[in-house]
Amino acid sequence: MAERLNGKVAIVTGSSRGIGKGIAKVFAAEGAKVLIVARDEQAGNSVVDQIGKAGGEAAFCRADVSRWADALAMAQAAVARFGRLDILVSNAGIFPSARIEAMTEAEWDQVQAVNLKGTFFAVKACFARMKAQRYGRIVLTSSITGPVTGLPGWAHYGATKAGMLGFLRSAALEFARHGVTVNAVLPGNIRTEGLAELGAEYLRRMEQAIPVGKLGEPEDVGHAALFLASAEARFITGQTLIVDGGQVLPESLDALQ
């Protein structure tokens, strides 16, 4: 194990699978004590076990970040279990597909509640402790979809991910004087359970659109988040880091020949 986060306590929301799980494992391997936060208790505890077997330390907290009471309890659980709270990775998110013409108000509201309001709640709940410590690192998991690119069926998702970046810039300004930085990672197509559910043909076509020729892995996002959560990034706030294998670069498919 390395020690870039030795002695730090991190919350990673939506960390029972996918990108969040990858981030949690990277953080634990770097010495952080990690609170795994998710709605799926069985999957969350499985991640805790995996981290423990690898020599790290983690605990599970069941929470729905779209509910303020859950977000507040999550922050309190981290302090109660580990004694402090240094890092928040607000990663929890959903991405059901629905074209605008057929999208219902309920579908729109659900994605906004989890992805955008959930970010607000998680950050607000954790900031109070970080402010008292005069130290904190907040990393948001946004996406290239919304801030940079678009994809049919993901208008509601893209709106939340773009909204997160507007939120982070104001948060970075408000929190800077208290020793708390706020930054974001923008993943492209990462090999997760959720992406796999879109089908093998989708994965094949996505790989063809990525200059490095393959999908990213959750740990790739984890290492980017690790930098933003580390002491090395102390002079960086309000910024974004794209992790996409160069996917947003080509002007057309001809550029990949």
241: left (phi over 0), alpha (psi -120 to 50) or beta: beta
Maximum pairwise Cα distance, the chain: 55
Please pick, among 82, 121, 157, 175, the residue that the annotation labels catalytic.
157
Does the pLDDT value for residue 1 go beyond 60?
no
Q: Work out the end-to-end distance of the chain between its first and last CA atoms, rounded to an integer number of angstroms.
A: 40
Distances (CA, A) of 145 to 124, 164, 175, 238, 251: 25, 12, 26, 19, 16
Residue 111: per-residue pLDDT? 98
Task: Summarize the confidence of residues 211-229 as an average pLDDT.
Answer: 96
Q: What is the pLDDT of residues 174-219, one digit of tens each?
A: 999 999 999 999 999 999 887 777 788 888 888 888 999 999 999 9
pTM for this entry: 0.95
Sheet holding 57-62, edge to edge: 57-62, 33-38, 9-13, 87-90, 136-141, 180-187, 240-243
Evaluate whether 130 touches 180 at the Cβ level (below 8 Å).
yes
Delineate the domains of the chain, giving CATH numbers in brackets: 9-246 (3.40.50.720)
Interatomic CA distance for residues 49 and 44, integer angstroms: 9
Amino acid at 75: A
Q: What is the pLDDT of residues 143-157, one digit of tens each?
A: 999 999 999 999 999
Bridge partners, 187 (sequence order): 243
Q: What is the pLDDT of residues 234-244, one digit of tens each?
A: 999 999 999 99
Evaluate whether 222 touches 26 at the Cβ level (below 8 Å).
yes
Evaluate whether 154 touches 145 at the Cβ level (below 8 Å).
yes
Q: Is 135 a catalytic residue?
A: no
**Cα–chain center distance at 108:** 20
Contacts 24+ apart (CB under 8 A), 154-158: 154/95, 154/97, 155/100, 155/103, 156/98, 156/103, 156/107, 156/108, 156/111, 156/112, 157/93, 157/94, 157/95, 157/96, 157/111, 157/115
Q: What is the pLDDT of residues 104-128, one digit of tens each?
A: 999 999 999 999 999 999 999 999 9
Does the pLDDT value for residue 18 go beyond 90?
yes
Evaluate whether 164 touches 119 at the Cβ level (below 8 Å).
yes
